[in-house]
């Protein structure tokens, strides 16, 4: 059965079960750069539930995907040791999450959810135009700025243009007068990240809680997805920032948040999938089991030879302190079947996957015995936290490529470590979807060098974000006049600027975990020479800015 028909069938089941409490298919996409990635109001992403088709396109103007449906999961234990949980998959069992905030009783009724079934989208160019106006009126203020769901905004609009009354903190905004109320006609505007951002809110104690059928957490999730368009590697990154607000009276111990994904490459190539994990980047990785993606359907339906590699990297987690980053909790897979390593059906099985266990409670184990021997991650070997931890280009490491596993219809769960979510508190997690289309490929030629460089770029630009491009900059292609070389570099890195504009000049270099490096720079005409002698070998990210023009690049110091 074709996968699109399969998902359409599942949607029909969900529709029948929910009856009058039908879920919402509202979606929008981050589509400013090389990726067109959909998000939905129920907390799921990267697919279209009305048609069952995937929607995580790379390149953005294609219909080829670098991921299938995904969603965040979370679970924790109350003071009595009772499990509370929320998860989302393909809606075949309904929904644990519903759009909208919780009320004072920590619940979300269907009418409220319907009103909040909207994704607000705003671009930096909207904001720059708004800031250029000397007087702000309802008619000249961009709708994305005017109707932004900031606290107290009398112009806020939800689904189908309905007016919203917002008494709690919701979408972030620049509060010029400090009164805590969003007043766009007084010059206040959305406080977004990136060159384009989406914002939406969903909660786990809504009309149904039928994905897991577990106890709700009574949490409210404020989500922002955003991306940059700079004609650099950052164009292959989309960020997802979740603020988890605990509206309940429970303090949850051993709380975890996880990313679930059904990885896929191409249009219908879920049957070709391999997965991997890298602890340094806290990243799950999707790559092709062969070097010809979509071969069974012909290259128009896939990427063909040398397909890209995608990943999801956990950039910010509770427990990170300064430049000290905690490891993730677990990376585990399951299959699309009813076995003990198959689809979860009840709350304890969802929770097990978030904690490195299969449905029957058996812990993941390292059963790798050598190249060419298929592995499944259970049944033998010592307990471990992560499966498939090796680079596929090194056949002595544990990867699906090295062990000749059969490519197939995988799912995986990448989870944080345990933390405490106190009653009334808020915790934040930041993920990034990253894509490498060079130095990538499928087995037997796959390697993780390229995806690592893009992940480094995502980390560096999150902790040290590039400045907004003013609307007066007529073409973001101007960074093409800036050349940074050589790569790899030894003691010196050169920057040639033959056409950038006027203004102050900044040069910053960060290591792979976002730390600023102390380097000296010498100016020789239009050339800048960066002294790399004090920098140890490794992967680095450089940000060069001259006035309104910026170039970002990653390089290797040998």
> Tens of pLDDT along 242-263?
999 999 999 999 999 999 999 9
Listed residue (510, 555, 547, 546) closest to 527, CA to CA: 546
Is 81 in the same domain as 178?
A: yes
Which tokens sit at 27? 């979606």
Alpha helices per DSSP H over 313-432: 347-354
What percent of the chain shows pLDDT beyond 70?
Answer: 90
Q: 4-28, pLDDT tens digit by residue?
A: 444 443 444 343 333 448 999 999 9
- In a domain, residue 62? The reply is yes
CA 334 to CA 382: how far, in whole Å? 19
Q: Which residue has the tokens 């999450």?
A: 97
Q: Is the pLDDT of residue 235 over 90?
A: yes
Is 282 in the same domain as 218?
A: no
Last residue of a domain, one of 398, 430, 448: 448
Is 381 in the same domain as 316?
A: yes
- In a domain, residue 468? The reply is no
CA 349 to CA 229: how far, in whole Å? 40
- In a domain, residue 462? The reply is no
Is 302 in the same domain as 204?
A: no
pLDDT average, residue stretch 405-421: 94
- In a domain, residue 397? The reply is yes
pLDDT average, residue stretch 186-201: 97
CA 322 to CA 463: how far, in whole Å? 10
Under DSSP, the state recorded for 173 is: B
- In a domain, residue 238? The reply is no
Is 421 in the same domain as 500?
A: no
| Angle of CA points 111, 112, 115, to nearest 5° | 90
Q: 353-411, pLDDT tens digit by residue?
A: 999 999 999 999 999 999 989 999 999 999 999 999 999 999 999 999 999 999 888 89
CA 60 to CA 34: how far, in whole Å? 5
Q: Is the pLDDT of residue 111 over 80?
A: yes
- In a domain, residue 467? The reply is no
Is 444 in the same domain as 482?
A: no
- In a domain, residue 459? The reply is no
Is 428 in the same domain as 383?
A: yes
The CATH number linked to 546 is 2.60.40.10
CA 109 to CA 132: how far, in whole Å? 41
Is 382 in the same domain as 434?
A: yes
Counting Cβ atoms within 10 Å, is residue 371 exposed (0-12), middle (13-18) or buried (19+)?
Answer: middle
Which tokens sit at 486? 């050589």
Structural domain containing residue 426: 259-448
Q: 38-97, pLDDT tens digit by residue?
A: 999 999 999 999 999 999 999 999 999 999 999 999 999 999 999 999 999 999 889 999
- In a domain, residue 421? The reply is yes
CA 522 to CA 15: how far, in whole Å? 65
Higher per-residue pLDDT: 558 or 185: 185
Is 265 in the same domain as 181?
A: no
Is 174 in the same domain as 28?
A: yes
The four Cα atoms 258, 35, 199, 163 give a dihedral, to 10 degrees, of -130
Last residue of a domain, one of 409, 431, 448: 448
Q: Report the mean per-residue pLDDT for the chain.
A: 89
Last residue of a domain, one of 176, 206, 224: 224
pLDDT of residue 551: 77
Q: Quick check: helix, strand or coil at residue 479?
A: helix
Which tokens sit at 103? 């009320």
Higher per-residue pLDDT: 507 or 258: 258
Q: 434-465, pLDDT tens digit by residue?
A: 999 977 889 999 999 999 999 999 999 999 88
Cis peptide before 68 (omega within 30 of 0): no
pLDDT of residue 18: 39
Q: How many domains does the chain have?
A: 3
Is 437 in the same domain as 515?
A: no
Is 433 in the same domain as 511?
A: no
């Amino acid at each position: 059965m074709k996968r699109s028909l399969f998902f359409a069938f599942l949607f029909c089941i969900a529709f029948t079960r929910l009856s009058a409490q039908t879920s919402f298919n509202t979606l929008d996409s981050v589509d400013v750069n090389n990726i067109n990635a959909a998000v939905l109001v129920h907390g799921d992403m990267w697919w279209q539930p009305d048609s069952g088709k995937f929607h995580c396109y790379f390149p953005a103007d294609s219909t080829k995907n670098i991921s299938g449906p995904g969603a965040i999961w979370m679970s924790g234990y109350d003071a009595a040791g009772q499990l509370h949980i929320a998860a989302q998959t393909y809606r075949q069992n309904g929904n644990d999450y519903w759009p909208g905030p919780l009320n004072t009783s920590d619940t979300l009724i269907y009418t409220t959810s319907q009103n909040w079934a909207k994704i607000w989208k705003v671009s930096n160019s909207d904001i720059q135009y708004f800031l250029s106006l000397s007087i702000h009126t309802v008619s000249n203020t961009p709708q994305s700025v005017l109707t932004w769901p900031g606290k107290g905004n009398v112009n806020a609009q939800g689904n189908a243009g309905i007016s919203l009354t917002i008494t709690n903190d919701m979408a972030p905004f620049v509060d010029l007068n400090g009164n805590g109320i969003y007043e766009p006609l007084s010059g206040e505007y959305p406080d977004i990240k990136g060159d384009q951002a989406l914002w939406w809110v969903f909660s786990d104690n809504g009309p149904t809680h039928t994905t897991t059928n577990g106890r709700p957490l009574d949490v409210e999730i404020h989500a922002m997805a955003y991306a940059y368009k700079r004609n650099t590697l950052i164009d292959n990154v989309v960020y997802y920032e979740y603020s988890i607000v605990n509206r309940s009276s429970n303090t949850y111990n051993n709380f975890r948040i996880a990313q679930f994904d059904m990885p896929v490459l191409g249009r219908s190539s879920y049957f070709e999938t391999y997965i991997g994990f890298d602890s340094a980047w806290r990243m799950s990785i999707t790559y092709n089991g062969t070097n010809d993606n979509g071969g069974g359907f012909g290259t128009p339906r896939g990427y063909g030879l040398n397909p890209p590699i995608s990943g999801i990297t956990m950039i910010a987690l509770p427990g990170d302190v300064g430049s000290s980053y905690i490891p993730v909790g677990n990376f585990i897979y399951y299959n699309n079947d009813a076995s003990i390593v198959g689809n979860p059906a009840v709350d304890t099985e969802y929770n097990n996957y978030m904690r490195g266990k299969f449905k029957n409670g058996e812990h993941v184990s390292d059963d790798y015995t050598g190249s060419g021997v298929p592995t499944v991650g259970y049944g033998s070997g010592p307990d471990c936290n992560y499966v498939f931890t090796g680079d596929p280009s090194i056949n002595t490491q544990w990867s699906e490529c090295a062990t000749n596993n059969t490519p197939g219809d995988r799912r995986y769960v990448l989870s944080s470590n345990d933390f405490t979510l106190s009653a009334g508190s808020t915790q934040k997690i930041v993920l990034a979807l990253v894509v490498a289309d060079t130095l990538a490929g499928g087995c037997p030629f796959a390697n993780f060098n390229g995806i690592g460089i893009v992940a480094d770029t995502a980390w560096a630009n999150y902790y040290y974000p590039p400045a907004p491009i003013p609307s007066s900059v007529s073409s973001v292609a101007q960074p093409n006049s800036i050349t940074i070389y050589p790569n790899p570099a030894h003691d010196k890195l050169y920057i040639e600027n033959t056409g950038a504009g006027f203004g102050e000049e900044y040069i910053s270099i960060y290591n792979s975990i976002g730390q600023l490096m102390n380097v000296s720079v010498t100016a020789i005409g239009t050339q800048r020479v960066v002294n790399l002698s004090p920098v140890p070998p490794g992967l680095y990210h450089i940000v060069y800015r001259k006035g309104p023009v910026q170039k970002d690049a990653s390089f290797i110091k040998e």
